[in-house]
Amino acid sequence: MGLFSKRIDKKVASYQRELIETHFQEVDNMYRRMRGWRHDYRNHIQTMKVYAANGDLEAIKRYLNELDTDLSTVDTVIKTGNPMTDAILNSKISLAASRGIEVRADAHIPVRLGIPELDLCCIIGNLMDNAIEASVKLPQDRRLIRVYMDMKGSQLYISLTNLTAGGKLEKSGTRFKSSKGSQHGLGLVRVDAIVERLGGYLSRNSEEGAFTTEILLPTVNSSPKKSDSSPV
């Protein structure tokens, strides 16, 4: 590997570490808000008891509406059980929401996986970015991404589906053609390389109006292949 390539790899790795740390901090702040809301629970109950004692139903309604709005910001946090996955997944869900995209996520992951966290974040980040870019092309009432993650025996199963415009996508070799250019293709190449290096399985499927990616990653007794380039 040339000196220039090594420098590029180091810059990419450094940037990704900084990005992941930022995402982790965002989720940590969300957890802090949740703990704060629970701490204030008794105060909220006492306040409503006072309103009830005074027969002030309108005040109770207003207070409940305020609490409902406050709690909805807490409920947007996805808690998978794995802090680093929480960080990248919640960051992407927040990005999707800002673009009018609904995300339905059901994710359950052990805290310790045995999979490099940087690899897992790269996979989830690229899949979500691609799904978001495809979704913004649709009318807002059709923008939907479904995420499912869970253990299947000793393997981590990841499934991500996004609605698409038109029919099936045209396939070129092992990948589907895209009009989004080289950056989109680079993201897919990186995901493929990580899954292969970890000894996993990847499948992409284009149906009428939907695109799905499924991945299986071994988490125990696996012997990942050495990467001779970037850590991702």
Phi-psi region of 181 (alpha: psi -120 to 50; beta: other; left: phi over 0): left
Domain extents in the chain: 40-74, 78-218
What DSSP designation does 179 have? S
* 8 A C-beta contact, residue 99 and residue 134: no
**What angle separates helix 83-98 from helix 117-135, to the nearest 10 degrees?**
10
Q: Phi and psi for 3 in degrees, rounded to 5?
A: -60, -40
pLDDT confidence of residue 189: 84
CATH topology of domain 78-218: Heat Shock Protein 90 (3.30.565)
* Model pLDDT for residues 22-81, shown as the tens digit of each residue: 556 656 666 666 666 667 777 888 888 888 999 988 988 888 888 776 665 555 567 888
Question: Is a pLDDT exceeding 90 seen at residue 225?
Answer: no
Question: Is a pLDDT exceeding 90 seen at residue 173?
Answer: no
- pTM of the predicted structure, to 2 decimals: 0.64
* Model pLDDT for residues 95-136, shown as the tens digit of each residue: 888 889 999 999 998 767 888 888 888 899 889 989 999 999
Residue 78 CA: distances (Å) to CA of 61, 63, 142: 28, 26, 22
Q: What percent of the chain has pLDDT over 90?
A: 28
* 8 A C-beta contact, residue 157 and residue 151: yes
